Structure 1
Amino acid sequence: MAWMYAQYVAEELVSGAGLLPPGTLEYRAGRDALALTVFLAEDGSRLSHAGVVSQLDRCLDLTAYDERWHEWCAGRLATLVEGGGGNGDGGAAGSAADGPDTGPDPGLPMALAAWRWLTTTELMAADAATDGPWHCAAVDDLCGEDRWMPAWRLGLPLAHLAVHLF
């Protein structure tokens, strides 16, 4: 359930920001990047509205440009997979407070599927130098020509902006 709630929260934030039309690949990349951030940033307690709202500052920090989001996600997911989805180190899976079932979070396979899509799907980034009032210093490797890049690299700024606009 934690993954489904994280995905719901991400959907609400990204659609509420109104940055891209739903159904586009870029929208999906932003929603999935934010859902993974919410899911993996969770402190081991059950996800709830109050818990997610209190974690938004952390999500904002994790999705910031200079942060190592990709490495952080890979490490957190590896920890959850190796640990059978348990939360021994404050992971996103079930905790002792969840009840007698402390096995893997049933949402972990869905989170892994989102991770695979974000890391294996490539999307084209438009020329940031001509497509709007972008600051090229922040995306200097994109300026001047169109580039293909992993979906997470396009989705992460969208996720960050959606949280910021909340």
Structure 2
Amino acid sequence: MRPESTGGAGLAVPMSWLCAEYTADVILRTGGLVPPGSLEFRAGQRVLALTVHLGDGAAAGTFAAGGAPDTDEWLSLTAAGRPWPDWVGDRLAARERHGGPDPDLALATATWHWLRTTHVYATDLGDLEPWHPSRPRPGSVDESRRAWTPAWELGLPLGHLAVRLW
């Protein structure tokens, strides 16, 4: 089946996006960092799906076909200090310029909208970035101090850690 084939009724099938979601789901479930079905899991899964789908490689399709993807690109894109949200915005804008109906792009755009507009009441990490291996831990994080955080800010370090553990 072609990646954007139609299923008889003229409905385009977003195979690239579905492969990226599947890959992200497997990586997060394998890591066992958060319970599946939780808001944290969904945030991490959606961040990884966008990263896999918008990345340069065809790793999601390779993984879905039984091969092993090269995860270095995903680790690089999700690393702390990288402008991941700008990268996603630029990639989506570039694909929109290509024009034409694209069911993969529609799902990726909806996912990015959800990640930006959904806020999670979570521990306020501030600028500590305790998940970043090159930064020393400046003491413990006060887990009682909470803040409303966009879902992508919660999902990005979770996704990065899940790929690293995978």
User: Which TM-score bucket, shorter chain as reference?
Assistant: 0.7 to 0.9
Contact 2:116 2:151 in 1 (8 A): yes
Match of residue 74, structure 2, among 59, 84, 94 = 59
Distance 1:75 1:126, change over 3 A: same
State the shift of 1:24 in Å: 0.7
Distance verdict in 2 for CA 1:52–1:5, change over 3 Å: farther
Q: State the one-letter code of the partner of 1:149.
A: T
TM-score by length of 2: 0.75
C-alpha deviation, 1:128, in angstroms: 5.0
Alpha-carbon distance between aligned partners in 2 of 1:120 and 1:139, rounded to the nearest angstrom:
30
Q: Secondary structure at the match of 1:148?
A: strand
Aligned to 2:118: 121
TM-score by length of 1: 0.75
What is the root-mean-square deviation in Å for CA atoms of aligned residues?
2.7
Structure 1 unmatched ranges of 5 or more: 85-102
Shift of 1:149: 1.0
Shift of 1:83: 1.4
Where structure 2 has 5 or more consecutive residues not aligned to the other structure, the ranges are 1-14
Moved more, 106-115 or 149-158: 106-115
Please give the per-residue CA displacement for 1:143-166, whole angstroms capped at 9, x wherever unaligned. 552110110000000100010001
Matched, 1:164 2:161: no
In the TM superposition, residue 2 of structure 1 has moved relative to its aligned partner by 0.5
The 3 A distance-change label for structure 1 pair 44 and 24 is closer
Letter in 2 for 1:110: L
CA separation of 1:73 and 1:2: change in aligned 2, threshold 3 A: same
Work out whether 1:108 is the aligned partner of 2:132.
Answer: no
The number of aligned residues is: 141
- Checking the alignment, whether the CA contact within 8 Å between 2:23 and 2:60 is kept in structure 1 is no
4+ residue segments displaced more than 6 Å: 135-140
Contact 1:40 1:73 in 2 (8 A): yes
Please give the per-residue CA displacement for 1:72-117, whole angstroms capped at 9, x wherever unaligned: 0010001111212xxxxxxxxxxxxxxxxxx554211111111110
- Asked if residue 37 in structure 1 is aligned to residue 37 in structure 2, the reply is no
Contact 1:125-1:147 at 8 Å conserved across structures: yes
- Partner SS state of residue 79, structure 2: coil
* Structure 1 residues 84-95: aligned runs within 5 Å: 84=99
How far, CA to CA, are the matches of 2:82 and 2:38 in structure 1? 25
